[in-house]
Amino acid sequence: MTYDGKELTAEGSSPVMVYHFIQGTTTWRYVALSKTFTFLGYPCDPEIIAPSDFGVSNDVPKDSLTFRLPITNNLAETFIGGTPSTITTVNVYRTHYDDTDYIVYWKGRVASSAISGNFVELVCDSIFSSLRRLGIRPQYQRMCRHALYGRGCNVVQASYAYTGHISTVSGVNVTVTEAAFIPKLTGGILKAANGTMSMILRHSGTNIMLMRPLPTLAVGQEITMYIGCNHSISDCKNVFNNLGNYGGWPGIPGINPMNGSTPIV
């Protein structure tokens, strides 16, 4: 029987909501059942997952959805040390217990998280919110405004990638032997084997300090490191040969022309 056919029969309807989360190369599928449920050939793990009410209003940005997960949940653990650098998307499917037909009930991405007792709450924005949101205007500044390897910068990230192996890991402090031979990692990125990433705040020899801990890092694991940029003309020209995409205005006068005294940063 089709999905619509199941919906029209009160006795034959056994609706099931499937919650599909994607974070980089890692995927989680959950159902609020007591046992594993197979959906489109994939096993969905039973979990104590409690979403807020689904709704639609005239104010699209307010049509958010909050998921409540146990603090011991694998997905929830990735948000305990801070918001992951990789976007976490959410797909909610509605099907029936004994049916292969389904509909996409809700779609969005995790915008923020919070810990409440023994639970982690994930606040998700609807996919339609991005269609109504104004973009950020360029910041008038001397230093480059572009995110390294992002839009506007256009540096090919793979061209500045180095592999290494974890020697020790303790919170945000990581030791990588190969890092001693890479001259410029401060401001760069460390990428774990599962695709999660963290900015490198400090690099000295084999020692690396991350912006936030990556729970999946382990001794002996192969990781990828990308060199950093201090957003200056010097780095843009001499390190990346990317001066044509420099996103700052180095010619800004040192004195504010509006009052003649206050220096412009």
Cα 96 to Cα 18, 99, 106: the distances in Å are 10, 5, 16
- How many angstroms separate the CA atoms of 214 and 37, rounded? 30
Residue 132: predicted pLDDT: 57
Residue 96: predicted pLDDT: 83
Helices and strands in the chain, H and E counts? 3, 15
- Compute the CA torsion angle 134, 135, 137, 143 (nearest 10 deg): 150
Q: Of 61, 78, 60, 58, nearest to 69 (Cα)?
A: 78
- How many angstroms separate the CA atoms of 126 and 92, rounded? 11
Q: Where does CATH 2.40.30.20 sit in the chain? A: 157-245
Residue 6: predicted pLDDT: 61
Domain 157-245 fold is Elongation Factor Tu (Ef-tu); domain 3 (2.40.30)
Cα 134 to Cα 59, 123, 129, 156: the distances in Å are 14, 20, 10, 27
Q: Where does CATH 2.30.110 sit in the chain? A: 3-131
Instruction: Pick left, alpha or beta for residue 24 (phi over 0 → left; psi -120 to 50 → alpha; otherwise beta).
Output: left
CB neighbours of 115 closer than 8 A, spacing ≥ 6? 71, 80, 121
pLDDT tens per residue across all 265 residues of the chain? 666 666 666 666 778 899 999 998 889 999 998 899 999 899 999 999 988 887 665 655 567 889 999 999 999 988 887 778 788 999 999 888 877 788 888 999 998 899 888 999 999 988 877 665 566 677 788 899 999 998 899 999 999 999 999 999 998 999 999 999 998 899 999 999 888 888 999 999 999 999 888 888 999 999 999 999 999 999 999 999 999 999 998 888 777 666 766 555 5
Question: Looking at the whole model, is its pTM more than 0.75?
Answer: no
CATH class of the structural domain 3-131: mainly beta
For residues 36 and 43, the answer to whether their CB atoms sit within 8 Å is: yes
- How many angstroms separate the CA atoms of 228 and 45, rounded? 39
Q: Of 167, 196, 207, 230, nearest to 77 (Cα)?
A: 196
Give the angle subtended at the CA of 20 by the CAs of 15 and 25, to the nearest 5°: 160
